[in-house]
């Protein structure tokens, strides 16, 4: 049985949105990045620490490119 996804963060830029969700799956911790609600990247990690570190790096990269937290 799979866990329901939890939103870690979301960012906006020029009317577009990117979001990062995490969920527990039988084979690890799954992180999904979605642009405008369409999944574009899904990765699975063995530990929560690895998953959260990766998600934080992705958020930092997007923020450096001009993406901002929703108002």
pLDDT tens digits for range 10-51: 999 999 999 999 999 999 999 999 999 999 999 999 999 999
The predicted pLDDT at position 25 comes to 93
CA distance 14 to 17: 9
The predicted pLDDT at position 2 comes to 58
The predicted pLDDT at position 1 comes to 46
């Amino acid at each position: 049985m799979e866990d329901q996804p939890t939103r870690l963060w979301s960012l906006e830029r020029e009317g577009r949105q990117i979001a990062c969700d995490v969920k527990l799956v039988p084979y690890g911790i799954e992180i999904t990045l979605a642009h405008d609600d369409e999944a574009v990247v899904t990765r699975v990690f063995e530990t929560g620490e690895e998953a959260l570190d990766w998600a934080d790096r992705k958020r930092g990269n997007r923020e450096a490119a001009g993406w901002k937290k929703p108002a």
